[in-house]
Amino acid sequence: MSENIFGENLRQVLNSLDMSQAELAEKTGLTSGAVNLIINGERDPGLKSIMKILNVIPVKFERLMGRPEGKKKSVKLELRSWKDFATVGARYEDVFSAWMSHVEEVASDRLG
């Protein structure tokens, strides 16, 4: 990510929950180093990492991506199929929202 929107929003959410990076790492199964790199914008979170984080903290995908809930905006994700979402055990509403954003972007690219 050129801007660290995801990391900054994740930092704000963790602060509001009084949750440390170490606690997030423990609850998600990510390493403390990976969480630190994501929050500081030194590493782009992969889809599996995003879904693990969403399963632990009580916010929606849109909040972490820095857009108001309900406002449509394409989010570029590295996806190959629906199975990419299904294998990470994500919340269905977040999976559906992210998948539809991806589908809309692909359709827009292909249709010109």
**Domains in the chain: boundaries:** 5-111
The predicted-structure confidence for 39-52, as pLDDT tens digits, reads as follows: 999 988 888 898 89
Is the pLDDT score of 5 beyond 50? yes
DSSP one-letter string for 14-46: HHHHT--HHHHHHHHT--HHHHHHHHTTSSPPP
- The per-residue pLDDT of the chain, averaged, comes to 75
Interval 43-66 mean pLDDT: 85
pTM: 0.59
46, 39 Cβ separation under 8 angstroms? no
**Structural fold of domain 5-111:** 434 Repressor (Amino-terminal Domain) (1.10.260)
